[in-house]
Amino acid sequence: MLKDTYANPAPLGLCAFGMTTVLLNLHNAGFIQLDSMVLAMGIFYGGIAQIFAGLAEGRKNNTFGYTAFTSYGFFWLSFAALLIMPKLGLTVEVSAGSLVAFLTMWGIFTLLLFIGTMRLSVALQLVFGTLALLFFLLALGDYSGDARIKTFAGFEGIICGSLAIYAGMAQILNEIWGKEVLPLGTVSKRKHVTYEPLPEPIPAS
C-alpha cells in the first residue's frame, strides 16, 4: 500500500468556515452590512474551499471530515444562492418560515455531528457545540422576529468562528513545530474503520 503523503486538509476547512462565519456574524451583531464582501467570502472561501477540504478528507478516509466540510461548504453556497437568486429574478424572496426551517435543519444536523466530536477533541466539541447553538438562535430570531436574539446570535457566532480559526491554526502550528504549541484537547485517537465487501455467495451445485 502506498504511503499517505496527502496534506492535512482540516486546517483549510476550519479556517474557511471560521473566517466566513466571523464575517457574517459581524453583520448579525450589527457591525457591518451584508454586502458583496460577505457573499464573496461565502461563495469562494466558506463554500468552494471547504468543499475542496472535504473531498481531500474523503481521500484520507475521514468520513466525519468529508461529511462536515463538504456539507458546510454547500451550506455557504446555498446561503449565497438564497440572497442572489431573487435578485436575478429566478425565484421570490425566501420567507421567514422557510428560513426558520432551513436554519433548524442545519442546527439538527450540526447537533448530530457534535455527538461525533465527543470522540475527537475538545476544540471541535466547542466549535460544533457553539455552531449548533448559533443555528438554533438564528432560527429562533427569525421565528420570533426579535432583533435582539439575532444580535445576540451574532456575538455567539463570532465566538464560534473564532474557535474554528483557532482549531485550524493550532493544527498548522503544532505540525510545523512538531509539538503542541496550541492545545486542542485531544480526547482519543480515532481509528479509521474499513469495511470489507461481503464474499460472493457460493453457487449451488
pLDDT digits (tens, 9 = 90+) for 100-126: 999 999 999 999 999 999 999 999 999
Digit-coded pLDDT (tens) for 76-100: 999 999 999 988 888 888 888 999 9
- What is the percent of the chain with per-residue pLDDT over 70, rounded to a whole number? 89
pLDDT at site 93: 86
Digit-coded pLDDT (tens) for 187-203: 755 444 443 444 555 55
- What is the percent of the chain with per-residue pLDDT over 90, rounded to a whole number? 82
pLDDT at site 90: 87
Digit-coded pLDDT (tens) for 19-68: 999 999 999 999 999 999 999 999 999 999 999 999 999 999 999 999 99
pLDDT at site 203: 57
pLDDT at site 92: 85
With CA atoms as reference, report the closest residue to 157 among 179, 178, 139, 130. Answer: 130
Q: Is the pLDDT of residue 1 over 50?
A: no
Sequence spans of domains, the chain? 10-171
With CA atoms as reference, report the closest residue to 32 among 183, 158, 200, 182. Answer: 158
Digit-coded pLDDT (tens) for 122-154: 999 999 999 999 999 999 999 999 999 999 999
pLDDT at site 189: 55
- CA 132 to each of CA 86, 111, 157, 177: distance values in angstroms, whole numbers, following the listed order: 27, 5, 10, 32
pLDDT at site 204: 55
Cβ 174 vs Cβ 187: under 8 Å: no
**Average pLDDT over all residues of the chain:** 90
Sign, CA dihedral 175-17-128-126, equals: positive
pLDDT at site 202: 59
Q: Is the pLDDT of residue 168 over 90?
A: yes
pLDDT at site 100: 96
Question: Taking phi first (over 0 means left), then psi (-120 to 50 degrees means alpha), and beta for anything else, what does residue 134 get?
Answer: alpha
